[in-house]
Amino acid sequence: MANKIIFPENFFWGAATASYQIEGAWDKHGKGESTWDRFTHTQGNIKNNDTGDVADDHYRLWKKDIALMKRLGLKSYRFSISWPRILPAGRGEVNKKGLDFYSKLVDALLDAGIIPFATLYHWDLPQTLEDEGGWVVRSTAEAFADYANVVSRALGDRVKNWITQNEPAVVAWLGYEMGVHAPGLKDHPKAMRAAHNLLLSHGMAVPIIKRNSGNAEVGITLNIGWKVPASISKLDRDLAQKDDGKWFRWFVDPVYGRGYPSDMVEHFTKLGALPGGLDFVKESDMDAIAAPIDFIGINYYNRIVHRSNDTDNEPQLVFPKPRTPENWTEMEWENYPEGLTGVLARVYFNYNPFKIYITENGASYSTPPDEKGNVPDELRTNYLRTHLAAAHRAIQAGVPLAGYFVWSLLDNFEWSFGYGQRFGIIWVDYKTQKRTLKDSAKWYKSVIKKNGF
């Protein structure tokens, strides 16, 4: 008989979503326009010109969605709050209907025995703030602190787990440097400022949330891939190191009080991305960013093998797996569970967080319902099983992993890819909004029940 994998007692078995990806109701009940509303309403930005206008219609169907969570036995649910639903103009007047929506959601989760994990920012910035410069300007970080104050005062008596920012690297680089996410800018120097203001907003919000929400735990979610050089050559090693520096160390180092990594300051300077040096960093900023946090959230999906195409390069030693559906998801991301053990160990042993949550992990496979109405998504189940086993290995090595949130509860709007990519453990028929538990959801339910497999 295969060895059993049993997780620690009180492990938080969860699922995650984000406001723009599921809620719809983009202009209902006083909600303001977000950068993603503007970006998706501009033709040519998104595959098939899909928008989040309706998405999973969760704003209307949330009670049914909580019933599904209960059916799965989820212990916790990670959702995000739409800033322009609460503060339509980004700051100032509060939209009571918006706050009520989340307040009722939280009450219903608690009634269902599901612990709410609220993320304050999963990318839908009020467009009014973008019009003033968005994350490139410091006043957006200040507005975020006010927003965090409003939300944590309203929900902080019941929400005790808070995530400030989700994947600030993605916001800064994809949104302001590469232009494939809202607001669609391609300006590296501006992206450097955006990255800093995102981090600053996190640091400013932490003490505010702690003040408003007694005994709350507060953290940040960062994305991290398993980045390896394709050979031992300096060329490949440099590529891997720089990519990791850009996407992870630039964010995690300041959060843990180490400031911006010097090799990356040098690298960004060479690229011309820091024309004025770090002139946008004010004296107290780095202390603010390093505000003590209770946990770090890790979003892990895949491995990236770095290979320089320089003709003088060494022979390649590390190869991505062959391109089969088992090995590569439909996002064209390599399925590499060992990397999850690696990143968890690295984060714990290098930065010593008190606690780690895997705040996202999952796979995009579009397996549709069969004639009996089942969704036989073994590829996803296999991905989840192998990644959970990898997470368990990290726990055995001493990593204080306290929970796992599968991405995602529902199929949803996958940013620039529109609705073509499906990460859900629940199938969503976008025409009828019918939800169907996929086989992976049924498997996950049994894992939660047995606290392992």
How many angstroms from the chain centroid is the CA of residue 30? 26
328: DSSP letter: B
User: Closest approach of Cβ 286 to ligand IFM, in Å?
Assistant: 26
177: DSSP letter: I
Nearer to ligand IFM, 144 or 423 (CB): 423
User: Closest approach of Cβ 335 to ligand IFM, in Å?
Assistant: 14
Q: What residue ranges bind ligand IFM (CB under 6 A)?
A: 18, 21, 167, 299, 360, 407, 414, 423
User: Closest approach of Cβ 192 to ligand IFM, in Å?
Assistant: 22
Q: Which two tokens stand for residue 251?
A: 């964010």
Q: Which amino acid is at 49?
A: N
Separation between Cα atoms, residue 69 and residue 423, nearest integer Å: 16
User: Closest approach of Cβ 277 to ligand IFM, in Å?
Assistant: 31
Non-local (6+) Cβ contacts of 295 within 8 A are 217, 219, 353, 354, 355, 356, 357, 402
User: Closest approach of Cβ 418 to ligand IFM, in Å?
Assistant: 12
Nearer to ligand IFM, 256 or 333 (CB): 333
Q: Which of 23, 130, 167, 414 is catalytic?
A: 167
CA distances from 305 to 170, 248, 355 (A): 19, 16, 28
Catalytic annotation present for 283: no
3-class secondary structure for 108-128?
HHHHCCCEEEEEEECCCCEHH
Tokens 């005062």 -> residue = 153
346 three-class SS: helix
Residue 234, Ramachandran bin (φ over 0: left; ψ between -120 and 50: alpha; else beta): alpha
Transcribe 241-262 into DSSP letters.
HHHHIIIIIHHHHHHTT--S-H
Q: Kindly give the interhelix angle for 96-111 and 58-72, rounded to the nearest 10 degrees.
A: 10
Nearer to ligand IFM, 127 or 299 (CB): 299
Nearer to ligand IFM, 21 or 95 (CB): 21
Greatest Cα-to-Cα distance within the chain, rounded to the nearest angstrom: 63
Nearer to ligand IFM, 233 or 412 (CB): 412
Q: Which of 23, 177, 360, 414 is catalytic?
A: 360
Q: Which residues pair with 121 in a beta bridge?
A: 165
Catalytic annotation present for 167: yes
Nearer to ligand IFM, 26 or 407 (CB): 407
Nearer to ligand IFM, 130 or 414 (CB): 414
User: Closest approach of Cβ 223 to ligand IFM, in Å?
Assistant: 6
Buried b (16+ CB within 10 A) or exposed e, 307-339: bbeeeeeeeeeeebeeeeeeebbbbeebbbbeb
User: Closest approach of Cβ 266 to ligand IFM, in Å?
Assistant: 29
170: DSSP letter: I
Which residues are catalytic, by number?
167, 360
